[in-house]
């Protein structure tokens, strides 16, 4: 039985991935800061104090063949630390490289790193998607830290022979999603009129089921070794279309008012919400052709099915409250 070490096991992706790994009969070692009651009972939990340059991974890596590294200092909209880049580098770069070097010493065969589309950049023109082989062009500290980690991991692989697989997801959604996606569901479920009925952007998203399916494929696919992959649902949506289809999933038709995006941008800037407006109005598309062809992979779950699953859990919890 293949032993897998999963970091970030209590996070949004990690919890869902934990169950899927057990379903696939992997011997799962879940790295946690403290024991968690939310993880599946069959997951063996190993306490790691944090993703730092000094953390000791020896016990967690015992007998491990595959490391799936999803833990990170995550991107936040309003970071109030004095120097965000230093903080991101301490955790995402130094902490990850410490784990990777110990993984090499422990004889790990493959290291799967969950990176971010922010390595490519923040936005695309419509019909000009990012590709996996584009030169990195990160802008914010989080994206910069992920890009630096990718580069260093590939250097470790070249020197050691441990295979590295890098996956850069776009925005991930699914049951129990938080942040802006959760806010959209709340707006729609409460019938708020939204001034987003005429947005003609294009954005790639990925459901958590599709992301996890790709991660599972990358565990042992020979062609995945030392490659970078982008992942999405394979269908790009405008904000208007996303709200309409999410409203349908919630059985609460979206009440959308058509206001020119230029006017929305002006108002958002005046209110200090330019970054929020960029996410609602701007485009960010990815081309997953390399992922499809090299791995013979296609997203198994459609957008509408994934939205329905997401809405179902939201409604259950919303009604319970």
What pLDDT score does 116 carry? 97
DSSP H/E element including 244: helix 239-249
Q: DSSP letters of 188-238?
A: HHTT--BS-TT----B-EEEHHHHHHHHHHHHH-GGGTTEEEEE--S--B-
124-171 pLDDT, tens per residue? 988 899 999 999 999 999 999 999 999 999 999 999 999 999 999 999
Mean local confidence (pLDDT), 289-308: 98
Q: Where are the domains of the chain?
A: 3-173+206-234+287-300
Band the pLDDT of 76: cuts 50, 70, 90. low
Question: In CATH, what number does 3-173+206-234+287-300 get?
Answer: 3.40.50.720
pLDDT at 69 over 90: yes
Name which residue leads in pLDDT, 264 or 122. Answer: 122
Q: Look up 142 and say whether it is catalytic.
A: yes
Residue 4 near residue 66 (C-beta atoms within 8 A) = yes
What pLDDT score does 124 carry? 95
Mean local confidence (pLDDT), 35-48: 88
160-217 pLDDT, tens per residue? 999 999 999 999 999 999 988 999 999 999 999 999 999 999 999 999 999 999 999 9
Entry pTM: 0.94
Q: Is the dihedral of CA 21, 27, 30, 31 positive or negative?
A: negative
Mean local confidence (pLDDT), 222-234: 98
Specify whether the backbone of 135 is left (phi greater than 0), alpha (psi in -120 to 50) or beta. beta
What pLDDT score does 151 carry? 97
Q: Which of these is catalytic: 26, 57, 88, 142?
A: 142
What pLDDT score does 186 carry? 95
């Amino acid at each position: 039985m293949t032993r897998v070490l999963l970091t970030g096991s209590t996070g949004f992706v990690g919890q869902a991935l934990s169950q899927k790994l057990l379903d696939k009969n992997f011997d799962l070692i879940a790295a946690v800061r403290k024991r968690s009651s939310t993880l599946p009972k069959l997951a063996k939990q190993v306490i790691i104090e944090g993703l730092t340059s000094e953390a000791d991974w020896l016990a967690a890596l015992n007998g491990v063949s595959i490391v799936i590294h999803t833990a990170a200092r995550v991107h936040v909209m309003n970071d109030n630390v004095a120097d965000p880049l230093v903080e991101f580098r301490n955790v995402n770069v130094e902490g990850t490289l410490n784990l990777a070097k110990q993984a090499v010493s422990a004889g790990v065969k493959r290291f799967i790193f969950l990176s971010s589309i922010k390595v490519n950049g923040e936005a695309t023109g419509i019909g000009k998607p990012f590709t996996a082989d584009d030169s990195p062009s990160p802008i914010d500290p989080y994206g910069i830290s992920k890009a630096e980690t990718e580069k260093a991991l590939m250097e470790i692989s070249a020197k050691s022979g441990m295979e590295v697989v890098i996956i850069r997801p776009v925005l991930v959604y699914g049951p129990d999603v938080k942040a802006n996606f959760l806010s959209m569901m709340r707006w729609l479920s409460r019938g708020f009129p939204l001034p987003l009925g005429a947005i003609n952007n294009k954005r790639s998203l990925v459901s958590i089921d599709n992301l996890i399916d790709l991660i599972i494929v990358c565990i042992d696919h020979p062609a995945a070794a030392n490659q970078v992959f982008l992942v999405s649902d394979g269908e790009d949506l405008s904000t208007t279309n996303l709200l309409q289809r999410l409203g349908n999933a919630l059985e609460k038709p979206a009440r959308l008012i058509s206001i020119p995006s230029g006017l929305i941008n002006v108002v958002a800037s005046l209110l200090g919400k330019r970054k929020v407006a960029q996410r609602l109005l701007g485009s960010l598309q990815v081309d997953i052709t390399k992922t499809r062809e090299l791995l013979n992979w296609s997203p198994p779950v459609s957008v509408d099915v994934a939205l329905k699953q997401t809405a179902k859990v939201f409604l259950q919890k919303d009604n319970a409250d």
